[in-house]
Amino acid sequence: MPLVDPEFLAEVKRSPAFNAEACLNCGVCSAVCPLEIELLPRKLFRYVLLGFKDRILANTETIYSCLLCKMCEANCPQEVSIAENVRALRFWINKKVFQL
Amino acid sequence: MSTLKIGVYICHCGGNISHYVDVEEVRAAVAGEPGVVVAKTAMFTCSDATQQEIIADIREHNLEGLVVASCSPKLHLFTFRETARRAGLNPYQYTQVNLREQCSWAHRNNRRAATEKAVRLVRAGIARTNLTVPLEPFKIETVPAVLVVGAGVAGLRAAVGMADLGMNVYLLEKEAQPGGWVNRPGKMYPAGRVGKEIIAQLLAEVQERERITLFTGAEIVEKSGSVGNFQVKVRVGGRRRQEISLNVGAVIVATGFDVYRPAACEYGYGFTGVVTLPEYWDLLAAANGNLIYRRKEIKDVVYIYCVGSRQDPEKENAHSYCSRYCCSAAVYAALQTAEINPQIRQYHLYRDMRTYGKSELLFTRAREQGVRFLKFAGDNPPRVEEQAGGRLQVTVCDLLTYGEEVEIRADLVVLVTGMVPRENEQLVKVLKLPLGKDGFFNEIHPKLRPVETVVDGVFICGAAQGPKDYPESVASALAAVTQSAALLKKGYVELEPLVATVDPERCRWCGECAAVCPYAAIEKGQYLYRQVAWVNEAVCKGCGGCAPVCPGQAIDLRGYTDAQIKAMIDGLLKGGL
Ligand SMILES: Cc1cc2nc3c(=O)[nH]c(=O)nc-3n(C[C@H](O)[C@H](O)[C@H](O)COP(=O)(O)OP(=O)(O)OC[C@H]3O[C@@H](n4cnc5c(N)ncnc54)[C@H](O)[C@@H]3O)c2cc1C
Ligand code: SF4
Ligand code: SF4
Ligand code: SF4
């Protein structure tokens, strides 16, 4: 059973542009994604908010497959900067996994 | 049988009746009934033109009774009583026969039978009308004073409102201090004002008004009289107990609610660090830079919503309603917590987020500030366990993370407790207040008559009638002010004369009638040298409950006398079945 890691959000949140907290889980983003990626972005944001680091690390491929087309962002009712958030997460993975 | 000169009008109701009932046939069938002088049909009897025609007929034929066979009396009883009055006919010699709801709409696929039933209904109406006598409504002078029970935010605001309309106000508070639940040090949504300050301001306004007398430590012990003129006895506590008699025209009940108290072990209640929302509210008000609970700094807080609300209705004494204020209050508490220390991590475990109206903005703000929201299903609530080292562990199946079970470690768990009805047995008994299934006081109609009760002259407002936040409590208090002032300002009330009467010659005072009367309208009276039943006409609602139980047939209901009911039955059965 995953344990909530309260510190993780701060670790990913490099700049105030990261605003996945505002997500209200409506699912519009997942519905409009041209790649039909199941994980992105709603579920991914849950993992970040609750600090399920392992889940994120297990999904690096998926996180990199995002086109950053912003289809989701254009439709998000909460104006979540989804693309920017994915970028922030890639930045964290680059450091953490690839030691870039 | 004696008859009156009667006019009968049968309405098409624009087709609502005439599509299913042959109104012309009904007219022909009743035109020869005893007493009938005029029998007509009309497309819309309630139209001005037809009402004018009725008035002209009444005058021309010196009619002594009127029957309109149309829609439900709920719709047009008063319309046609007024038509009669304008023509100089006593309004109580009018009978409305309901051919729409009780005949045409109910029997749309059998025109023959519907028409036959309509004939019988109209005959019964004519038979009743033949036995009517002129009646006048009772006029009761009203006392320009009101009793407000409960001095929370609703009662205080109602008192100020009534005083400003020129009424004397007696304001009763059971506790030593007025103010109710708002009178606390914490800040409140929507305006962010401190509860105590809101109450202090209202109390200052109360003090400014000479018309208001505030009694604290006071309770109502007795009530008699009727709408517009009640006598109440109030017991005032303190060192020297004292009983005071007051005379008021109306009563406004604003006795508020109680907060749900979790059972031992419910969501870990009883563990160190598990608190209710009001306890947390006080903690926030006392915070200074940091949030401290039992000398420990709080870093992680978990809130569990809907505690004591929205319970499974199958459960015994379940509080199955939503308490309405708590989603907004908990989200507002989150914002205050973040204001005190933005580093505090907050997890809100909710079932449905009901931050309705403007509170939606609070919810958005809370999310933007990093407050984390998890959603659980009603039948799969979170579990709270104690951990070594004094921390708490909460396990929840989070529907927003695709139903995954997650664990959260916390220093504090806040149980977002709902509103429950306040124990008020004595008050309910004295005022005969109607209770709803949920235990709160019931209004006559939640939409159209939201602050009136079935007890004439007794109004309810605030959280006593169901969960409300304070702006809603104040709004309903002002509604109660308007309704009671509308009653008292006129100077008198007119009551229906259709009440029970006792024939003292026949009454032997067995008390049977008094025992069944749901409104306590029958008392013991004196007739010559005997005791007989006496009906308080201002209290009697004319329900008729007493009439059939009297062994000596001493009670009759005006407007619906035994003789009239028998005549109606004969009318219905005329010509055999
Ligand atoms: C923890 C908590 C936080 C809240 N936060 C907010 C908020 O932020 N914003 C908001 O809008 N609302 C909030 N509310 C709701 C708010 O408290 C209520 O809407 C408000 O108190 C209702 O006012 P009232 O006058 O109807 O009832 P009450 O406040 O309950 O007052 C009733 C009064 O009647 C008295 N009384 C009871 N029985 C008798 C009797 N028989 N005779 C004489 N007197 C009697 C009581 O002693 C009491 O003084 C909160 C409630 C709680 C519990
Ligand atoms: S569209 Fe926006 S608010 Fe809706 S789930 Fe996606 S990120 Fe969240
Ligand atoms: S207002 Fe929210 S917390 Fe309160 S009972 Fe309703 S849904 Fe539950
Ligand atoms: S008619 Fe009904 S309200 Fe009136 S005295 Fe009889 S039982 Fe009571």
| A2 within domain boundaries | no
Instruction: Give, in degrees to the nearest 5, the angle at Cα B424 between B521 and B420.
Output: 125
- What 3-state DSSP class applies to B385? strand
| A16 within domain boundaries | yes
Query: Which ligand is the nearest neighbour of the Cα of B367?
Result: 2
Q: Tell which one of B147, B187, B221, B255 to mutate to probe ligand 1, the residue whose CB is within 8 A of the most ligand atoms.
A: B255
Segments in chain B below pLDDT 70: 1, 238
Domains of chain B plus CATH, in order, are 6-135 (3.40.50), 145-256+422-493 (3.50.50.60), 260-418 (3.50.50.60), 496-558 (3.30.70.20)
Q: Is B275 exposed, middle or buried (0-12, 13-18, 19+ CB in 10 A)?
A: buried
pLDDT at res. B2: 77
Is some CB atom of chain A closer than 8 A to the CB atom of B400?
yes
Rounded distance between C-alpha atoms, residue A52 and residue B393, angstroms: 17
Is some CB atom of chain A closer than 8 A to the CB atom of B391?
no
Q: From the CA of B325, how many Å to the nearest CA of chain A?
A: 21
Q: Cβ–Cβ contacts within 10 Å for residue B125, how many?
A: 27
**What is chain B's mean pLDDT, rounded?**
95
* B310 Cα: distance to centroid of ligand 2 (angstroms): 28
pLDDT at res. A97: 83
pLDDT at res. B1: 63
| A3 within domain boundaries | no
What φ, ψ does residue B11 adopt, rounded to 5°?
Answer: -100, 140
Full domain range(s) for residue A77? 8-96
Q: From the CA of B374, how many Å to the nearest CA of chain A?
A: 9
ipTM score for this prediction: 0.90
Closest CA to B237 of B218, B214, B255, B220: B218
| A39 within domain boundaries | yes
Rounded distance between C-alpha atoms, residue B384 and residue B518, angstroms: 49
Q: From the CA of A19, how many Å to the nearest CA of chain B?
A: 7
Rounded distance between C-alpha atoms, residue B531 and residue B511, angstroms: 10
How many separate domains does chain A show? 1
Rounded distance between C-alpha atoms, residue B212 and residue B197, angstroms: 20
Query: Which ligand is the nearest neighbour of the Cα of B538?
Result: 4
Q: Give per-residue pLDDT as tens, A31-88.
A: 899 888 777 788 899 999 999 999 999 999 989 999 999 999 999 999 999 999 999 9
Is some CB atom of chain B closer than 8 A to the CB atom of A8?
no
Rounded distance between C-alpha atoms, residue B55 and residue B534, angstroms: 38
Q: Do A19 and B408 touch (CB under 8 A)?
A: no
Is some CB atom of chain A closer than 8 A to the CB atom of B402?
yes
Best mutation target among A3, A4, A5, A13 (most B Cβ atoms within 10 Å) is A4
Residue A78 Cα: closest atom of ligand 2: 3
Binding pocket residue ranges, ligand 2, CB within 6 Å: A 23-29, 41-42, 72, 76-78, 80, 82
pLDDT at A17 over 80: no
**Residues of chain A with C-beta less than 8 angstroms from the C-beta of B385:** none
Binding pocket residue ranges, ligand 1, CB within 6 Å: B 149-155, 172-175, 180-182, 188-189, 219, 254-257, 259, 277-278, 281, 325, 329, 332, 422, 424, 427, 462-464, 468-471, 473
Place of tokens 């032997």: B508
